[in-house]
Amino acid sequence: MRSAIIEPGRGLSQHDPDFRDYRRRLLSAKKPPLIAAVAVGHRAHRLAFAMLRAQTPYNPDRCAKSVAAGMTVMAKTQWAHQNDATCSPPQTSIIEGGEI
């Protein structure tokens, strides 16, 4: 499971400047290489989830702009998703009286 998380981050950190800079910042902050790889992979998975949720292709300019603004791509996508009049509200499940 860990390698499934690390591999997309490894690929993006080799080809995308924002992911490359993020990995370099982690390593310069004295994070161990494996911790940095997992963190970059986690960021890649959050990006992939946001893209799937919004049904949009990867846009490196949008990603760079949101990182520069201090707002993650996922947060921007959630905001756009919540304010889109064409989207239906998310489904909630009730199990034993509590919402999930």
How far apart CA 11 and CA 19 sit, in angstroms, is: 9
Residues in the chain: 100
The type of residue at 92 is T
The Cβ of residue 18 has, within 10 Å, a number of other Cβ atoms equal to 19
Packing angle of the helix pair 33-54, 2-15 (nearest 10 deg)? 90
| pLDDT score for 89 | 45
Q: What confidence tens digit (pLDDT) does each residue in 47-97 have?
A: 889 889 989 898 888 877 877 777 554 455 554 555 444 444 445 444 545
How far apart CA 87 and CA 80 sit, in angstroms, is: 10
Q: What confidence tens digit (pLDDT) does each residue in 6-53 have?
A: 999 999 999 999 899 999 999 999 999 999 999 999 999 998 898 899
- Three-state secondary-structure class, residue 54: helix
| pLDDT score for 67 | 74
| pLDDT score for 87 | 46
Q: Are 15 and 8 in contact (CB under 8 A)?
A: no
Q: Would you list the domain boundaries of the chain?
A: 2-76
| pLDDT score for 78 | 53
The type of residue at 52 is L
| pLDDT score for 37 | 93
